[in-house]
Amino acid sequence: MEGPAIHNDKTISFSWLSKATIVEIISVLFIILFIYTGISKLMEYSIFKEQIAESPVLRPVSSFIAWSLPLIEFIVSLMLIIPRWRLKGLYASLALMIGFTIYIGAIMAFNKELPCSCGGVISLLSWNGHLIFNSIFITLGYIGVRLERQIRRSIKNNLMNTIS
What are the pLDDT digits (tens) for 31-43? 999 999 999 999 9
The C-alpha atoms of residue 53 and residue 47 are separated, in whole angstroms, by: 10
> Per-residue pLDDT for 156 more than 70?
yes
Read off the pLDDT of residues 45-67 as tens digits, 9 standing for 90 and up.
Answer: 999 999 899 888 888 999 999 99
Q: Per residue in 108-132, pLDDT tens?
A: 888 777 777 777 788 888 889 999 9
The string over 138-163, giving b where at least 16 C-beta atoms fall within 10 Å of a residue's C-beta and e elsewhere, is bebbebbbebbeebeebeeeeeeeee
Q: Global pTM?
A: 0.84
Domain extent listing, the chain: 16-155
> Could you tell me the sign of the dihedral formed by the alpha carbons of 138, 79, 17, 161, in that order?
negative
